[in-house]
Amino acid sequence: MGGGLAGRIGAALALCVLVGCGSTEQAGYDPNTRFLLRTDPIVVKVPPAPPTDLHANGKLDDAIADLANRGGVLLEPSKLPKTDRDALERTLEGLFGTPAAPKRPGVPPDKLALGSGVYKAKCAQCHGMTGDGRGPTGSWVYPHPRDFRLAKFKYVSSTGGGLPTRDDLVAMVKVGIAGNSMPGFAMLPPDQLEAVVEYMLFLSLRGRVETDLLTAVLSEDGIDGSTEEFATVALARWTRLMEEAEAKVVRPDVPEVSVRDAGTDAAYDAGVRRGFESFTKAGCASCHKDYGRETHYLYDDWGVAVRPANLSAGVYRAGGGPLDLFRRIRCGIPPSGMPAVDAKVLDDAATWDLVRFLQALPVPRHLPEDVRAKIYP
């Protein structure tokens, strides 16, 4: 009996070591660990013709390198002489610190350090130490974990061109992403959740400044003045843009009219019908061909092939609630090229109608007969 109990406790402890048991008491990064300068190519321009397929499993970096053969433009940080690379690494370390002792103006160092420990334990596996999306698991899952180094996110609630708000990131990390490998972390205590979001913003800013710095050094013009000055100015600029994104959150003035409380059947049908017309007029069908049932691909800003969502499936990465879809229409998915639809094009009432159409689309019996006949002949 006693041996069995001990064995079970042992097994439970081993499991805790493996999965963390919700605690992040694990050691954070070693104080000697440093961020190394990026070596993977910077995608300056994706090829003019859209991708014909997804790349093979595990071949993310080969697929990026291949963009250059298809008319894309890449910069190669790995080709910089070692002395230049060392100097840039020192510049970035001076500004941003190390993984164990990260620095970001305006954020208490202990909060960032807590976030760094949580990130190492829960996120680095996929998103990578520098936030490059190339953790050990990264290239094996599709879609790939977000590469934070562009400081752009896909599922945002503001019209800041893909810059995230804290609330967006907190919600995303809590809930995870439906239909792919991004887990939800609702079990993290609130202080750890907030800290890991601060750390993610830190990695985004650090990665963005690194990318801007390398882009300038590798381009013909080079940098005027010192790399420290350049990096400090870039950091201030991206910090300001992120603050502005917080002020550009889309909040509808007209309240939500959901599928269920649309009033009479005739009023509901009329709304869905108007939404259906907006879908065509607003250009959604140019990418979501046959409502997304037709498979084709586009490049996102990272140079990775993405597929316009199959909107008849009713599975959404950033939630299928009315406000989620309202914001998807008004904010777009900037890094995937899905444009934001301005309120001048579709006002709040028209946007709610489009939401209503999107919500009815996967359920044929929710569509008025004439619309249903066009979509599900």
- Cα-Cα end-to-end distance for the chain: 66
Name the residue among 122, 291, 292, 256 with its Cα closest to residue 195: 122
- Choose between 37 and 123: whose C-beta lies nearer to ligand HEC: 123
d(CA 239, CA 244): 9
Taken in order 308, 314, 316, 322, the sign of the CA dihedral is positive
Q: Which of 65, 75, 298, 343 contacts ligand HEC by CB under 6 A?
A: 298
Q: Which of 35, 202, 291, 316 contacts ligand HEC by CB under 6 A?
A: 316
- Choose between 181 and 232: whose C-beta lies nearer to ligand HEC: 181
Minimum distance, C-beta of residue 270 to ligand HEC, in the bound complex (Å): 19
Binding part of the chain for ligand HEC, among 64-72, 77-85, 252-260, 314-322 by CB under 6 A, reads 314-322
Phi-psi region of 105 (alpha: psi -120 to 50; beta: other; left: phi over 0): beta
231 binds ligand HEC (CB under 6 A): no
272 binds ligand HEC (CB under 6 A): no
169 binds ligand HEC (CB under 6 A): yes
Query: What would the two tokens of residue 343 be?
Result: 């309120």
Query: What would the two tokens of residue 150 be?
Result: 């562009």
In Å, how far are 134, 184, 300, 342, 351 from 172, measured between CA atoms? 19, 8, 20, 24, 23
Q: Which of 44, 270, 287, 323 contacts ligand HEC by CB under 6 A?
A: 287
d(CA 165, CA 157): 7
262 binds ligand HEC (CB under 6 A): no
Binding part of the chain for ligand HEC, among 238-246, 250-258, 269-277, 312-320 by CB under 6 A, reads 312-320
- Choose between 76 and 246: whose C-beta lies nearer to ligand HEC: 246
Minimum distance, C-beta of residue 79 to ligand HEC, in the bound complex (Å): 29
CB 357 within 8 A of CB 287: no
- Choose between 91 and 139: whose C-beta lies nearer to ligand HEC: 139
- Choose between 21 and 298: whose C-beta lies nearer to ligand HEC: 298
Binding mask 90-129 for ligand HEC (x = CB under 6 A): --------------------------------xx-xxx--
Query: What is the Cβ-side half-sphere exposure of residue 267, based on CA atoms within 13 angstroms?
Result: 8
- Choose between 77 and 271: whose C-beta lies nearer to ligand HEC: 271
Q: How many residues in the shown chain lie near ligand HEC by CB under 6 A?
A: 51
Q: Which residues of 97-115 are buried (b: 16+ CB within 10 A; e: fewer)?
A: bbbbebebeebeeebbbbb
Residue 101 backbone dihedrals phi, psi, to 5 degrees: -130, 70
Which residues are CB-contacts of 75 (< 8 A; sequence separation ≥ 6)?
Answer: 41, 42, 44, 214, 215, 218, 219
201 binds ligand HEC (CB under 6 A): no
60 binds ligand HEC (CB under 6 A): no
Minimum distance, C-beta of residue 220 to ligand HEC, in the bound complex (Å): 31
Residues, the chain, total?
Answer: 377
d(CA 213, CA 234): 8
Query: What would the two tokens of residue 185 be?
Result: 């972390």
333 binds ligand HEC (CB under 6 A): yes
160 binds ligand HEC (CB under 6 A): no
Q: Which residues bind ligand HEC (CB under 6 A)?
A: 122-123, 125-127, 137, 141, 143-146, 153-155, 169, 172-173, 177, 180-183, 185, 196, 200, 282-284, 286-288, 298, 300, 306, 308-309, 311, 316-318, 325, 328-329, 333, 336-339, 341, 354, 358
